[in-house]
Amino acid sequence: MKNGQGTIKITINGALHELMIGRDIEPSETLSYLLREKLGLTGVKIACDQGACGACTVLLDGKAVLSCMILAMAADGREVVTVEGLGDNDPVIQAFAEQSEPGYGTAMQCGFCTPGFVMATKSLLNENPSPDLDEIKLGLSGNLCRCGCYPAVARAVERVVNQGVE
């Protein structure tokens, strides 16, 4: 952390950003503010802005963090991945998008929470590539889906895990 001046370097979705404090970034800014409002990465959603819902989840060095709860300065020298940084054929995105088997419903309705769930899933699978259903539920229990698509979300993650096995 710098003392209010100089630059910080953050790798965001693979690209290195050198941000001058006071010009590009304020020390009081959250990571979510930097990503959304300054870099236009609007896949990062803000729903509660108090660390209670998980909609703003991004990966920081491969682990899920709530980007509304950490300062952008704290990402100095680290690697951030947002949903925009995942590939077009990312298996988690595909699994959420295509979830439609009988008995589960769709994995999203309004879709506001979905990118957060996708990123939380990426983190979960980074730590545990083959979670069982209970581990999936526990791993994603920090994310709120008000439309209540939880069974289909869990099922989509199971499908990603099973694809890995196949």
Partner 1 sequence: MSRQFEPRKPRQFVGSYRPKIEGYQKASGSSEFLDDIASGLRFPGMLHAKVLRSPFPHAIIKNLDTSAAEKMPGVHVVLRYDDPEIEALKPTTNSWTSFNTAAYDTMYYPNYRDRKVLGAKAHYSGDQVGAVVAAETEEIAYDALKSMKVQWEELAFELDPKEAMKKGAPVIHPEIDPKSNILPCEELCGPDVFRVRGDLDNAFANADEIVEVQSDYHFADQGCLDTRGCLLNWHKDELTCWTNLYQADQTRMYIAQMLDMKLHKVRVICPYIGGSFGRSNTGDQSYYIFTAIAAQRAKRPVKYKHTRQEDFHDTRNAIEWTLKMSATKDGSITGCYFNGIGDAGAYSEHTIAALKFMTGFEMDECLLHHIPNMKMEGYGVYTNKIPSGCKRGIGNNQLNMALFIAVELMAEKLGMDPIDLAIKNFSHEWEPPPNKSVTAVLREGAQRIGWEKRLPTNQGPLIDGRCKKGFGFSLHDGWHTAWQEEPRGMVQLGLRLNPDLSVILDAPMAETGCGSNSCAVWACADHLGFLGITPEDIKWVEKADTETGLKDMVQTDSSVSYLHAELMPEAAAKLKIKILAMAAKKFEQSIENMDIENGRVFVRSDPDKNMSIKELLWNETLVPIPVMVEKLTPLDKTGVPYEATFAEVDVDIELGRIHVKKIVQLNDCGTVMYATGAEAQLIGGQAMALGEALTEEIVYDKTTGIPLNFNWVDYLIPTMLDMPDIEPVAMEVWEGAGEYGACGIGESVTTCTARAIANAVYNATGARVDATPFKPEKVLAALDAVDRAGCAQKEEVGN
Residues interacting with partner 1, by CB under 8 A?
36-38, 40, 42-53, 55, 82-84, 86, 88, 90, 93-94, 96-115, 118, 136-138, 140-154
CB of 21 to partner 1, least distance (A): 17
Nearer to partner 1, 77 or 131 (CB): 131
Least Å distance, CB 77 to partner 1, is 25
- The partner residues of 118 in beta bridges, in order of sequence, read none
Q: Closest approach of Cβ 53 to partner 1, in Å?
A: 6
Which residue's CB is nearer to partner 1, number 8 or number 36? 36
